[in-house]
Amino acid sequence: MTTQQLFKRLSLAQELSGGGCSSSAWTHTTQAGVMESHNPATGMPLARVYGCSDEDYDAMVTSLQQTHRSWRTVPAPKRGEVIRLIGKALREEKDALGSLISLEVGKIKAEGDGEVQEMIDMADFAVGLSRMLYGHTMHSERPEHRMYEQWHPLGVMGVITAFNFPVAVWAWNAFIAAVAGNTVLWKPSPKAPLCALAIQHLCNRVMEDAGYPGVFGLFTTDRVELAERMVGDERLPLISFTGSVPVGRHVAEVVGRRLGRSLLELSGNNAIIVDETADLDLATRAIVFGAVGTAGQRCTSTRRLIVQESQYEKLIPRLLSAYEQVTIGDPLQPHVMMGPLIDGEAVARYRSTLDVARKAGGEVLCGGRVLSRPGYFVEPTIVRAQNHWEIVQQETFAPILYVMTYRTLDEAIQMQNAVPQGLSSALFTTHLRHGEAFLSTAGSDCGIANINIGTSGAEIGGAFGGEKSTGGGREAGSDSWKAYMRRQTTTINWGTELPLAQGITFGRAEGGTHGASR
């Protein structure tokens, strides 16, 4: 498919398409800035997109509030049915959407398709969930009383997404939020507006046909002031933010100040530990996928490799040989394993990070160069380093893997935990006790801890997210849905007396305690 054919199929225009919408009505604002979307594999512009104005933003929030009033009364399984239809439309457009992701953010096509598959999986999960928004019932301590808890939607929720998962992260949030009865306002990354526009077109079509327009709203902007307005907007009870730690910290502060809820999915600094009993073939494949996949631009990318010293001489040659075979190039070509970084700034950060690592004493074992060709291509790189170096403590969004050695597993776990972030972690071992130690309370401190699986590529069925400066949020599977709802505890008295909790008597009893119950 040519780019023109792809755009046509996904209802995109190369010249100045509308920049925001709620329901199916696109805005016509032309005075609030223009974003240029680039193909990172060539550096060439793909399309230009109008930004939304403050007035567009306000109108959209008002419209989403109105829609919420009716959407929340639609039975949850019926809301699930609508998400099923979105999943169906995504299946039909999987190939085109996967190609668009490759084109706009530089993921290889298999990963672009995989991202769309993740949305489809989330839709399926949300459909099932729409019949399983369970609350507990409790035995009341009072006779002829019934106690239970129920879950209600929050209202309009805000979703701010990062460039590297330009659509899947929205789906994690939006599908669950929608079956829970919320409407959803999405601010995508200004580095990937086309992916967001394509998804919004698809949603509009499905929602309009199903008779429920206006549940999902999108606004595109590259103006930080407008993003900040969204974060501070009391009409949005929940802000789900995916991105870097500094911006996430700011979001948490602003939302916390207004006593709203934030759901934070921030940076990782993920390690794989390889012990003396590890299957090195398995470990090598997982390390290469984790460190090189998506050109190191996943929150779960493997950034540190902590190797038992007896394995170092065996593992490193295997890794170097695997790295040599990594094909770099146009991410839409089937044989290519690694595409470009997102932009020139990312290339500059790759370069400066390696400068700092070298100055700290780091030995570059392979890679380390920016490729002299159009686009933003770099070599996947392995650096012998020390865990405590400041540069190793930071997340650099690039295919740089720091390697270090350890003697005892305790030491390895301490090293793995000794970074500010706490997203994903993995141990390669065939030793039962090592595996259990890694997963014990004294083991990995991350939100994700894997055995004989790398750090990236999580399934949607589990709750996804991390601890410490990764922000503590959980999205996607398990009981993550609770973040999108408010819990209400209800007690019903079906008797003829009014007994108080804790046995308190009030007013009528002789010699009883005078006081109030909670």
Q: Which residues are catalytic?
A: 265, 299
Residue (of 313, 307, 378, 367) closest to 339 by Cα position = 378
Q: How far is the CB of 508 from ligand NAD (least distance, A)?
A: 56
Does 104 engage in binding with ligand NAD (CB under 6 A)? no
- Joined together, the tokens standing for residue 55 give 């007035």
Does 163 engage in binding with ligand NAD (CB under 6 A)? yes
Does 160 engage in binding with ligand NAD (CB under 6 A)? yes
Among 178, 299, 392, 404, binds ligand NAD (CB under 6 A): 299
Q: Which stretch binds ligand NAD (CB under 6 A): 24-32, 122-130, 159-167, 429-437?
A: 159-167
CB closer to ligand NAD, 22 vs 294: 294
Using CA of residue 250, residue 251, residue 257, residue 262, what is the dihedral sign? negative
Q: How far is the CB of 47 from ligand NAD (least distance, A)?
A: 18
- Joined together, the tokens standing for residue 38 give 């680039």
Among 158, 268, 293, 435, binds ligand NAD (CB under 6 A): 268
Q: What type of residue is 506?
A: F
Among 266, 305, 392, 409, binds ligand NAD (CB under 6 A): 266
Rounded distance between C-alpha atoms, residue 307 and residue 90, angstroms = 41
Q: In what order do the strands lie in the sheet with 302-308?
A: 363-366, 381-384, 400-406, 302-308, 270-274, 424-428, 448-451
CB closer to ligand NAD, 397 vs 428: 397
CB neighbourhood size of 491 (10 A): 12
Residue (of 304, 87, 61, 35) closest to 202 by Cα position = 87
Does 505 engage in binding with ligand NAD (CB under 6 A)? no
Residue at token pair 């995916």: 242
Among 17, 37, 164, 396, binds ligand NAD (CB under 6 A): 164
CB closer to ligand NAD, 397 vs 406: 397
Does 231 engage in binding with ligand NAD (CB under 6 A)? yes
CB neighbourhood size of 295 (10 A): 32
Does 397 engage in binding with ligand NAD (CB under 6 A)? yes
Taking CB under 6 A as the criterion, which residues in 177-196 touch ligand NAD?
187, 189-190
**Structural contact between residues 294 and 450, judged by C-beta atoms closer than 8 angstroms:** no
Rounded distance between C-alpha atoms, residue 179 and residue 104, angstroms = 29
Binding residues for ligand NAD, rule: CB under 6 A, are 160-165, 169, 187, 189-190, 224, 227-228, 231, 242-244, 247, 250-251, 265-268, 299, 395, 397, 423, 470
